[in-house]
Amino acid sequence: MLSYESINELCQKANEQNKKISEIVLSDESIQMEQTKQELFNRMAESFKIMCQAVNEGKNPNLRSTSGLTGGDAAKMEKYAQTGGLCGSFLNLAISKAIAVSEYNAAMGKIVAAPTAGSCGILPACIISMVESGKCKENEAIMSLFTAGAFGMVIAQKASVAGAEGGCQAECGSASAMAAACLVELAGGTPEQSAHACAMAIKNQLGLVCDPVAGLVEIPCIKRNVSGTVIAFSSAEMALAGIESKIPADECIMAMKQVGASLPCSLRETSQGGLAITPTGIKLKEQVFGAK
């Protein structure tokens, strides 16, 4: 039985059994939840389907959030991606997907929190991009979600995935780390490489504050989903190239917890600091809720 108390445990168990992390997690969940592997796979497949629906619905150029502050940017990004842009169509299409899911969430659409609604666009953008580009099969992408979930469970136990507790590093940082880990697995990397990718994703978002304008999961949350997606890919690429994180993943997670505890209340989802109290941030709040 897995305890999900450390990334090191996941890697050790996978190596002992000569299996992927997703495979040992599926077996473990089957025992703990007293359900067949197929039943659990089918449930995960349904989550993947909802992620795909969120991407498709979020690409609507006429989509707008209830507040009216966001919407329509995913369509712009998808159109731009057709030109190749600076980073090529693959990464730009992934960016458009991250925006799409986040904008769909802001418009009160049905999404999968991965691990939270505020960071919902990162994991879907990464794995759906892998499938659509032909870099992996759909069933492989679904299986990789078990790896992402396992890494997320460790982070939740050792630190937090809540912005109100640990800032946006706990939300977008965790989602990016989860995505980086499963990207490595999808690309044929080792469990250790998944751990290194997780660590590098966390390190690159350590200290990221949560300062939603008007208290809504829109500004700057949506664009942070984009940066989290890019960091997930770059972290996975580094790990697959053989680059290692000098600080182990479990220690990075503990550092994230310590940094989160050090953040002032104003930077932990209260909208009392950061971008939320800039002149424009205040005006946008008044636009939505009216002046005091």
Residue-range domain boundaries for the chain: 7-289
Tell whether the torsion through CA atoms of 38, 39, 40 and 43 is positive or negative: positive
Cα separations in angstroms, 98 against 59, 64, 169, 193, 230 = 10, 16, 17, 24, 10
Return d(Cα 264, Cα 241) in angstroms, integer: 37
CA 136 to mean position of chain CA atoms: 19
Tens-of-pLDDT digits for all 292 residues of the chain? 899 999 999 999 999 999 999 999 999 999 999 999 999 999 999 999 999 999 999 999 999 999 999 999 999 999 999 999 999 999 999 999 999 999 999 999 999 999 999 999 999 999 999 999 999 999 999 999 999 999 999 999 999 999 999 999 999 999 999 999 999 999 999 999 999 999 999 999 999 999 999 999 999 999 999 999 999 999 999 999 999 999 999 999 999 999 999 999 999 999 999 999 999 999 999 999 998 7
Return d(Cα 240, Cα 27) in angstroms, integer: 26
pLDDT of the residue at 170 = 98
pLDDT of the residue at 61 = 98
* In this structure, CATH architecture of domain 7-289: Orthogonal Bundle (1.10)
Asked whether the beta carbons of 155 and 214 are under 8 A apart, the reply is no
